Chains A and B, each alone.
Chain A
């Protein structure tokens, strides 16, 4: 029988590979079977993610409908009370508004500046590799440490930023902005520092998108006599849309859920002017000891994450199809 099988082997090779290999697979030792080995290799990572992402997430849902405090050992169910309390608190509503402003303004700036910088980086100029390294620094350095440098650069007494602004006569000799003392200035400061930090990330992503646009497309636009703006808006930006979406979505997540910049720079002050959801959750849940209240506040981050995840999935699927 085996001889017959050997003779028909060339014909079998024509058959779909999967059929042939699955027949062979059943005779393989357990660890060589893909149907066994595959799940075994994937399982530890999945279990870990379930235990330390999915389980804590479930726990935060549970905490948010309880009355848990840091010191308490027993908790009871309170329904949606924590969410209602949060929504009724002016501080929370302030933080929600601040989070939206912080996210939208910083992302708009990041995308526009990132596009400009990425366009510059597609050109050749002297010192490009140095520049590439320099512009990466803010993204790569530990956030809290980069931010603390800004805390000093915007210091009420020794600010070199103010010193330069005065030296070039943008502000008068008697002006000395108190960056963390006035509400609008404080917001501008945290946004600026966040833009500073995220810009490198957006730039390298957009740059990757720009370099993937075929040169012929640009040249064709040139031949057709398209001017700079026309080419930008009718050729480059439409082609760049998927990548701008990706950069923008990640940027939205980074901004919407960040508390490091704000914690280090202003602690949410002055008078809650820069308090955001994430920092408020920290102050309420960890420093204030109100675990339930903090968990409820941070869950308000979730709807935005969900929307971003769905859009990202659609982008990934479209990339898969084409």
Chain B
């Protein structure tokens, strides 16, 4: 009898587990299901209140996608986002790679402190800085230009990536570059020839995070840029596909979907390193 009650209790636990995770999955992923639906629904289907909104009531259509790509600046926004993302990533690497390495290897005790101090600047949010930043951007003549974002975005990608790379370089044994230096390499040569190749995974994750942070940014892009042709996806889509009270819902959701999925896939691959960066060594 006890065996049977135990197995029944276990089945109950399994059922509870599946019910809980299904509920969470539904809650978290539903908006994306909704994007998929709306992307391919015809207007007649979308705006008929008698319809069940959760399924296709009429034949799916590509009209929303056509509108998005042909009648809006979506491709321009995508291109702008990509351009800003790549330039910011490049700038970030130029600044953060040497700093992360030096803080991990050469600076000893105060390097640790300085590393934490730089990470803490990541906590200073855009909503605290956007007003003075708008002044700075205006004074260097970059208002309403993509270059303002290239200038400002490293203010959050650099602190985060310095921290991430510092942690990564610490995990590489010192012997490796010391061996190279004994073989006659200069320090810089040892870094470039020996350390960088084996750090590719860490560098790549810094690239991905810097890139996704710039794609997700909203406040600076909203503050600095007003003309549609210079906007990024995050700002261009919600401000231009809404005209007064008219929402182009189908195209709006298509834009959200197309932008979100690739970012999500990239991110998923590098999740563990991201966690390691945020847990501050509170996990061993």
Contacts and interface: CB of A to CB of B under 8 A. Distances in A.
Interface-centre pick from A149, A152, A200, A320 (highest chain B CB count, 10 A): A149
Interface string A215-248: 0000000000000000000000000001101100
Contacts, number: 305
A153 to B, nearest CB: 6
Contact of B132 (A117, A242, A295): A295
B69 interface: no
A120 B270 CA distance: 22
Nearest to A276: B127
Contacts of A127: 21
B244 to A, nearest CB: 14
A110 to B, nearest CB: 12
A309 B120 CA distance: 7
B73 to A, nearest CB: 15
Main secondary structure of the interface of B (DSSP, over half): helix
Contacts of A204: 271, 274-275
A37 B263 contact: no
Contacts of A242: 282
A68 B132 CA distance: 11
A158 B131 contact: no
Given A116-B20, A138-B31, A312-B120, A29 B282 contact: no
A286 B275 contact: no
A246 B155 CA distance: 22
B69 to A, nearest CB: 17
B223 A286 contact: yes
Main secondary structure of the interface of A (DSSP, over half): helix
A44 B28 contact: no
Contact of B279 (A48, A209, A322): A209
Interface string A152-175: 110001101001100000000000
Interface-centre pick from A41, A121, A136, A153 (highest chain B CB count, 10 A): A41
A53 B187 contact: no
A134 B31 contact: no
A140 interface: yes
A245 B278 CA distance: 12
Interface in A28-42: 29, 31-32, 34, 37-42
Interface of B: 14, 17-18, 20-21, 24-25, 27-32, 34-35, 38, 46-47, 49, 52-54, 94-96, 98-99, 101-103, 105-107, 111-112, 114, 116, 118, 120-121, 123-136, 151-152, 154-155, 158-159, 162, 186-188, 212, 215-216, 218-219, 222-223, 233-235, 237-238, 247, 249, 252-253, 255-256, 259-260, 263-264, 267-268, 271, 274-276, 278-284
14 contacts: A42-B98, A45-B95, A49-B158, A56-B136, A59-B136, A63-B132, A140-B264, A141-B263, A144-B234, A145-B234, A146-B31, A146-B260, A205-B279, A260-B218
Given A153-B34, A209-B283, 6 more contacts: A44-B95, A49-B158, A153-B31, A196-B27, A257-B127, A286-B130
Interface of A: 29, 31-32, 34, 37-42, 44-46, 48-49, 52-57, 59-60, 63, 68, 113, 116-117, 120-121, 123, 125, 127, 131-138, 140-150, 152-153, 157-158, 160, 163-164, 196, 199-200, 204-205, 208-209, 212, 242-243, 245-246, 250, 253, 257-260, 263-264, 277-278, 281-282, 285-286, 291, 294-295, 298-299, 301-302, 305, 308-309, 312-313, 315-316, 319-320, 322
